[in-house]
Structure 1
């Protein structure tokens, strides 16, 4: 295969797939610019969609953009392209997160070619805020998920026993802090969509994706409604023994956060192909002191970047996305 000419339709399709990625409160904090003459797609942070209180360092923003970047790589492999990715390519421009040269010759490189099999999972993956079965995740599936994270320079672990209890207690502590701090829910309320607004939203978390209230059980479940009424929501019992995974990186700088985002989406797409549903919580990681306690003190591994809840159960509904024309410029 020779170098493929990239037309507007191809680039638009790649960005459309990229933006199916998860991001904190579905804020979609990314912008893309395609440089036609160079065959390069630039990924930029959209700081207007940052979380002022809950993500002041933009760690979660970088993770969301990293997840979008991984989707882009999967979509490119599916299209027979060979993307060459440079992270943080301009030292003087920290909002430029990645430059992706798309018009590579010869189809996907060997280490990217197998990513094409994950392509259907891009549209199948949706955050599920519903109860899961109590049955365990088989070890062979866990091994696949650990390998997916490792391939992107991250590490995935499945806490057990006392460490799992610690993480669940940290989630409870984060919830309590929000209830005591009048401004603690500022970012969440900015990005939730209630009533008629939910039906026309292009971003944020609409009320139909909140899931039921947790009446019992230990599954970490951020309550997006708070004290605001949501019609026909109901409550139910969640799993008593949730299966959590922690995503780590060795460092804790923007480059590590972008790697964490790619590792996160790689794990989620692999989980989807294995029949697992999942949800994410950064709630106990939004306070530095709680985040430090989330780390496994025995292993002493690096920095926790995300808490994943995985299991067998219903997949959540698709959440809204902005139109490609609103996030992509072609020059």
Structure 2
């Protein structure tokens, strides 16, 4: 009947399908979902972590955090509350987080809007036009990050804009000279769709650059950053904005340090935000793997 929640099994299945469509830098999708009764484990898949681009797996754990937000959101719109435990089993460090289904939940209008965006594929990834982002949209993006425990630094000061743009160009230059990185990327692109997360920055003014940060850089911070990033991307989609993720500046120690100096916090993502050439999410390659669900997982507690 109207207003009744989905059965738990159906809600979890829908949430896992939606989470599997979350975007990740380089299209790695470095996660596995492990389902047992009313719990969904989000596990890091070491075989899908890039050895050169992400040697310590920080970016992969941020990507796993993004799926955690998608799981929570879709459970909410199917009528169920949820809670999150980060690193719930010390014996299994690849178990990044566990989403636990709670009591029934009354879905909000905001959750419905965000869920429509996540089920479309998680954001508008068309190329960004050089057109200013209005203040209400900027405020909504900053609020989205804040609600998930992170901070989205909108780079509005001209000196900071020049600094961050220089950091991005420096990261692009260093990566362009890294033969191992380029070989890894070619191998990845041979197997996966598109070039998500590979945008560079050109000359001239940018519509909006932003840096997503947390105070420190623990696994908990990385999962928080991923959830905040996903919510920001969905809010941008609702506002009709396109977002390009620029992973290189947060991958390299020297450029990551420069971003830390500018923002005063640990950077997890650099975003280039504006209005796109198209509407809705950019198309994905036909037959791309949306996610891999495994049953039979039993965590501690």
TM more than 0.5: yes
2:19 & 2:8 partners in 1: Cα distance? 16
2:87 corresponding residue in structure 1: 88
**Aligned Cα root-mean-square deviation (Å):** 2.6
Is this contact kept in 2: 1:150–1:156, CA < 8 A? yes
Cα contact 1:124–1:272 (8 A) shared by 2: no
Tell me how far apart the structure 1 counterparts of residues 122 and 242 of structure 2 sit (CA, whole Å). Answer: 8
Q: Is the 8 A contact 1:128 1:317 kept in 2?
A: yes
CA deviation vs aligned residue, 1:194-221 (integer Å, no higher than 9, x gap): xxxxxxx6xx333xx679xxxxxxxx82
**Structure with bigger gyration radius:** 1
CA distance in 1, matches of 2:88, 2:217: 18
* Per-residue CA distance 1:108-132 (angstroms, 9 max, x = gap): 5x8x884333111111544535241
Task: Return the alpha-carbon distance in structure 2 between the equivalents of residues 268 and 80 of structure 1.
Answer: 23
Shift of 1:277: 1.0
Alignment CA distance shift 1:249-1:71 (3 Å):
same
Identify the match of residue 152 of structure 2 among 153, 156, 164. 156
C-alpha spacing 1:127/1:114, structure 2 compared with 1 (3 Å): closer
Supply the distance in 2 between the matched residues of 1:282 and 1:166 (Cα, whole angstroms): 17
Q: CA deviation at 1:222?
A: 3.9
Match of 2:103 among 85, 102, 105: 105
2:132 to 120, 136, 139: 136
- Mapping for residues 185-204 of structure 1, pairs under 5 Å: 185-193=182-190, 204=192
Residue aligned with 1:105, SS: strand
- Equivalence for 1:313: 276
Question: Aligned pair 1:272/2:237, yes or no?
Answer: yes
The question of 1:175 aligning with 2:172 is answered yes
The alpha carbon displacement at 1:141 in A equals 1.4
Q: 1:328 and 2:293 equivalent?
A: yes
Cα distance change of structure 1 residues 71 and 181 upon mapping to structure 2, 3 Å threshold: same
Distance 2:253 2:284 in 1: 29
Partner of 1:26: 27
Superposed, which structure 2 residues align to 1:224-235 within 5 Å? none
Indicate if the aligned counterparts of 2:85 and 2:98 stay in contact, CA closer than 8 A: yes
Contact 1:53 1:186 in 2 (8 A): no
Q: Could you state the TM-score of these two structures normalised by the residue count of structure 2?
A: 0.87
1:29 Cα offset (Å): 0.5
SS at match of 2:88: coil
- CA contact 2:44–2:60 (8 Å) conserved in 1: yes
1:49-64 matched pairs, under 5 angstroms: 49-64=48-63
Superposition deviation, residue 143 in structure 1:
1.2
For the 8 Å contact 1:25–1:191, the answer to whether it is kept is: yes
Q: CA deviation at 1:34?
A: 0.9
Q: Name the CA shift for 1:210/1:28 in 2 (closer, same or farther; >3 Å).
A: closer
How many residues are aligned here?
288
